[in-house]
A and B are shown apart, each in its own frame.
Chain A
Amino acid sequence: MTVRKNQATLTADEKRRFVAAVLELKRSGRYDAFVTTHNGFIMADTDNGERTGHRSPSFLPWHRRFLLDFEQALQSVDASVTLPYWDWSTDRTPRASLWGPDFLGGTGHSRDGRVMDGPFAADTGNWPINVRVDGRTYLRRALGDGVRELPTPGEVESVLSMATYDMPPWNSASDGFRNHLEGWRGVNLHNRVHVWVGGQMATGVSPNDPVFWLHHAYVDKLWARWQRRHPDSRYVPAAGTPQVVDLDETMRPWNDVRPADLLDHTRHYTFDTA
């Protein structure tokens, strides 16, 4: 059974295997297909039109399925690898071991944002940025530049306490748990982390930075925590909502999976801790 672990607790061997599997997906071309899919959805999901991957109730089940696809791809390279998660409310500085040269590497150079160390630095030749929106082909970061502070545990708690999953108009203007976790409204959790990392993580091609998966694995874990906190709360809307994925409607791009199929993560993986 797949167990997703806090990145801060990984052994040296677990880090090495995770990095090697990610690099192999990159080398084979499979990695970049994930970047392309994400950017396609982020550019197409609009507040007043069809919306599936972002700014909508299906933000959480869509990313759960997207991460499952990526994790299964990693496991096709090395069956021992699972997606770690980054609890950014705890490991909240550029000095966290997450950013060490043995794992994701650190922040970018002040002049051009170029990441200079770690397995994903451009100089290794192993991490070309192919799916991009500008001419730069090197991984960039500016940890803490775009916004000074990552969300605090208290801010996370304030969002977990919201009992309603989502609300009309089911977009970036909504009240409720989903939009506060996504960050378009309120204290801003998920969106702010993208901005804090900077570089490609702040753009539509954010999966170019491997931290994308660790960030979303934690957002996903927060959804699971919310479900346990509010056992009587459900995914909404239930049915009949134009442009929005209802509970029993299939989601693009898979077209064979519904939010209802993804509510229980324990069918696919568990977490190291509650």
Chain B
Amino acid sequence: MPELTRRTALTATAALAAGAVAAPRAAAEDHHHASPDSFDEVYRGRRIQGRSTGGHHGGYRVTVDGVELHVMRNADGTWISVVSHYDPVPTRRAAARAAVDELQGARLLPFPAN
């Protein structure tokens, strides 16, 4: 977990104690396949992950507590998500964190595949 701060570490510990996130073993396996721009952290008590899903089209999946968050890259390299659609941020991780901030603890709903 890069960029692990004391605050997020404490939050992570609390979340793990509450059984709110997946087992550390799963996180380690994810990390094994990680591309350089992937991430996996607990932010404000929510597990946010971003990783390549492979394939010829460079698929990538961002999730909040395992539910996919629809994100989109702007032409200038910035990112937005469906819960913060008019406010670009620099990275997919920042978009995931902004989503957690916006959700205020609410669960994300899966978006319809299209």
Contact = CB atoms under 8 A, between A and B. Distances in A.
Interface of A: 39-40, 42-44, 46-48, 55, 112-113, 132-136, 146-147, 169, 171-173, 183-184, 190-192, 194-195, 202-204, 206
6 contacts: A43-B114, A44-B114, A47-B73, A132-B109, A171-B75, A202-B84
Contacts of A40: 114
B86 A183 contact: yes
Given A112-B104, A134-B103, A134-B108, A43 B82 contact: yes
A135 B107 contact: yes
Contacts of A44: 114
B15 interface: no
B114 A173 contact: no
- Top 9 nearest A-B pairs by Cβ distance? A173-B75, A194-B86, A191-B86, A47-B75, A204-B82, A135-B107, A134-B106, A135-B106, A136-B106
Contacts of A173: 74-76
B72 A134 contact: no
Given A169-B75, A171-B75, A191-B86, 6 more contacts: A43-B114, A55-B74, A133-B82, A203-B82, A203-B85, A204-B70
Given A134-B109, A135-B109, A42 B74 contact: no
Is the contact region of chain A dominated by helix, strand, or loop, or is it mixed? loop
Interface of B: 70, 72-76, 82-88, 102-104, 106-109, 111, 114
Contacts of A43: 70, 72, 82, 111, 114
- Which of B106, B111, B114 has most chain A Cβ within 10 Å? B106
A223 to B, nearest CB: 18
B81 to A, nearest CB: 9
Contacts of A135: 106-109
B107 A134 contact: yes
Contacts of B86: 183, 190-192, 194-195, 202, 206
A203 B74 contact: no
Contacts of B73: 47
B75 A203 contact: no
A24 to B, nearest CB: 27
Contacts of A132: 109
B15 to A, nearest CB: 18
A195 B107 contact: no
A113 B82 CA distance: 18
B54 to A, nearest CB: 20
Given A44-B114, A133-B108, A134-B106, A172 B84 contact: no
Given A133-B111, A172-B76, A184-B74, A42 B85 contact: yes
